[in-house]
Amino acid sequence: MVGAIDFPALIQELHSELNQSSVTVVPANAPANAPANVSANGSANVSANVSANVSDRWHTHAHEIVRRKLHSPFEFLEWAKRDRHWSFTLAEIMGKMCAKPSELAARLLVAILEELREEQQSAAPAIE
């Protein structure tokens, strides 16, 4: 097939780019000497807030990268339909409202990257 796009390679490239740009963020309201799971008033919410902030930033960054790098949304959707693994993820994403196929493709690619991220995090040993 002339001009065929290697979507698995694109997914790996984006996954690597997101891994390289991931940075742990400490909230501005946390005291410098407080442990990561205790806030200035002694509550344990800072850890949850940090996780939420990092996750939100990751999703925002993932959407930016996907919009910049995904040039063939229709071809990507066709590839995902035929792929044994990612066709299930596509079916899950299709259950949500999407205005355009390009938006569906972007959401699918972010969902794929998120699944790869979760697999990587669960495979990594817990550091405490």
The whole-model pTM stands at 0.72
Expressed as residue numbers, the domain containing 63 is: 34-123
**What is the domain count for the chain?**
1
Domain assignment of residue 26, yes or no: no
In terms of C-beta density within 10 A (0-12 exposed, 13-18 middle, 19 or more buried), how is residue 66 classed?
Answer: buried
pLDDT at 49: 67
Q: Give 1-13 pLDDT, tens digit per residue.
A: 445 789 999 999 9
Domain assignment of residue 11, yes or no: no
Domain assignment of residue 1, yes or no: no
Domain assignment of residue 114, yes or no: yes
Tell me how far apart the alpha carbons of residues 39 and 71 are, in angstroms, rounded to a whole number: 44
